[in-house]
Chains A and B, each alone.
Chain A
Amino acid sequence: AQSVTQLDSQVPVFEEAPVELRCNYSSSVSVYLFWYVQYPNQGLQLLLKYLSGSTLVKGINGFEAEFNKSQTSFHLRKPSVHISDTAEYFCAVSRNAGNMLTFGGGTRLMVKP
C-alpha cells in the first residue's frame, strides 16, 4: 500500500514570492508521482508528473517539482507566484503509471496581493 502526506494544509504567500508545497510519500514499490491543481468549484487538472528519468520535472504555469528518492519526497515549487495560482494542490502517487491514484490531503495555496 502507498500513502501520501502533504505537510501543510494551508500556505499563505505574497504575490511574486517563491513558494514550495511539500509532499512525502511512502510505498513498498516504485511509484509514479503527480501534482494536480483544483481551482474553486472546478475539477482537478494535472500540473506535472514524474514517471522516470530526470528528477526535476517541469509542468504548466511555471511550476516544477523534484523527485528525491532517498527522502521519498516530491515537493512542488514556483519561483514567483501570481494571484491566479490561488487554488488547492494535491500530490498523488500511483503504482503502475495508471490512474488509480492515491492522493494526499491537499494544500491550499493562498496568494495575497
Chain B
Amino acid sequence: DAGVIQSPRHEVTEMGQEVTLRCKPISGHNSLFWYRQTMMRGLELLIYFNNNVPIDDSGMPEDRFSAKMPNASFSTLKIQPSEPRDSAVYFCASSPTLESTEAFFGQGTRLTVV
C-alpha cells in the first residue's frame, strides 16, 4: 500500500481565496483524522471521521473550515476564505478503526496564505 496520500504537498494562496486539501486514506482503514501543525500551537486534532461520518469537529478553529468524506477513499479539508493565520502544515492520518492504537500519517500539505 502506498500509505496515506495527501495533495497538494505545497499550496500558496492569496488571502481570501478558497483552499481545498485532499487526503486518500489507506485502503481498508475506517477512521480518518485531520491535524494541523503550527509553531505556536503544535499539533492539533481538527476533526475525525469514522465510516465516512464526522464524529467530532470540536477542533475545527472557525466556520471558515469544513471537512467532508464523501466515500471511504477520499476526504477534503476546505478553508474559505483563507487567512494568513491559517498558514500551517495540515496532516491527514488514518487507522483501521477508532480503537486502533496506531495512526498512519500522510506527508502533510504545507499551506501558505499570503
Contacts and interface: CB of A to CB of B under 8 A. Distances in A.
Given A43-B4, A99-B95, A90 B101 contact: no
Contacts of A100: 33, 45, 48, 56, 98
B102 A49 contact: yes
B101 A51 contact: yes
Contacts of B100: 98-99
Interface stretch (A18-26, A73-81, A101-109): A101-109
A46 B43 CA distance: 15
Interface residues of B, number: 23
Contacts of B33: 99-100
Nearest to A92: B43
B99 A43 contact: no
Contacts of A106: 42-43
A32 B107 CA distance: 24
Given A43-B4, A99-B95, A90 B48 contact: no
Contacts of B42: 103-106
Interface string A28-69: 000010101000011111100101000000000000000000
Given A90-B43, A103-B43, A96 B99 contact: yes
A36 B91 CA distance: 14
Nearest to B93: A99
A97 interface: yes
Given A99-B33, A100-B48, A41 B107 contact: yes
Given A97-B99, A98-B100, A99-B93, A43 B45 contact: no
A43 B34 CA distance: 12
B64 to A, nearest CB: 23
A5 B46 CA distance: 20
A63 B97 CA distance: 26
Interface of B: 4, 31, 33, 42-45, 48, 56, 91, 93, 95, 97-103, 105-108
Which 3 pairs across A and B sit closest by C-beta, in order of nearness? A43-B105, A103-B43, A99-B103
